[in-house]
Amino acid sequence: MFEVVEGKRLRCGYTTGSCAQAATLGCIYLLNGIKLNEVEIETKSGVKLNIKIFGHRYKNGWASCYVVKDSGDDRDVTDGMKIYVKLRERRDNKVVIDGGVGIGRFIEDTPYGKKERLQ
């Protein structure tokens, strides 16, 4: 996908959120015994992206993998970062989200759910 900026055709990249979503989907499949090297996600604006998945690991009920962030032609400091997700299925059907070192935290209620304060 491309966009034209100041007469130049620039290749679009992926947001960090799209990378995290893709890695999460990769982990969900891995928890179900399926190793995917690429997943398709749909962005909020309806754009479908095919994103490569790396570093598949499954051990003791935990799945993990990562996506290499591609900022496109308008590079930023996140370009080339590995966006990791580690996931464990819960038996109580709750979802708990936690970020690693340097990762932003969920701080607002959204239409999709209420925040759970992390201690």
- Residues 110 and 7: their CA atoms lie apart, in Å, by 37
| 27-63 confidence digits (pLDDT tens) | 999 988 999 999 999 988 888 999 999 999 999 889 9
Domain range summary for the chain, segments of one domain joined by +: 2-88
Identity at 20, one-letter amino acid code? A
**Which residues, listed in sequence order, are joined to residue 1 by a DSSP beta bridge?**
none
H helices within the chain, ranges in order?
Answer: 16-31
The model carries a pTM of: 0.76
Token pair 């708990």: residue? 96
Q: Which two tokens stand for residue 51?
A: 């994103």
In the chain, what are the helix, strand and coil shares in percent, each to the nearest 5?
Answer: 15, 35, 50
